[in-house]
């Protein structure tokens, strides 16, 4: 695992902690929701974890898919 990967993991974990605090739910719940959303979407479209991003607010869940257009 390179430094870039470690930095991304640390940033993602911090983001989950901040968001979970705002949403009043446990960080594990946010991580589980994100994981399950990825699993469901990957059944229907070809995506990788790097192309998938979920952000949370108190009132919304935002899913962003990135990647090259084909």
Query: What ranges do the domains of the chain cover?
Result: 3-65
Per the CB < 8 A criterion, the answer to whether 37 and 54 are in contact is yes
Q: Is 68 helix (H, G, I), strand (E, B) or coil?
A: coil
Of 4-8, 10-14, 24-28, the poorest mean pLDDT is in 4-8
* Mean of pLDDT values over 38-61: 86
- Number of other residues whose CB lies within 10 A of the CB of residue 49: 10
Dmax over CA atoms of the chain, in Å, equals 39
- Grade residue 43 by pLDDT with cuts at 50, 70 and 90: very high
Spatial separation of the C-alpha atoms in residues 35 and 63, rounded to whole Å: 12
d(CA 62, CA 59): 10
């Amino acid at each position: 695992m390179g430094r870039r990967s470690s930095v991304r993991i640390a940033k993602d974990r911090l983001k989950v902690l901040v968001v979970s605090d705002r949403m009043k739910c446990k960080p594990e719940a946010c991580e589980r929701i994100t994981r399950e959303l990825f699993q469901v979407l990957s059944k229907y479209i070809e995506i990788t974890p790097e192309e998938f991003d979920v952000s949370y607010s108190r009132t919304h869940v935002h899913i962003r898919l990135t990647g090259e257009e084909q």
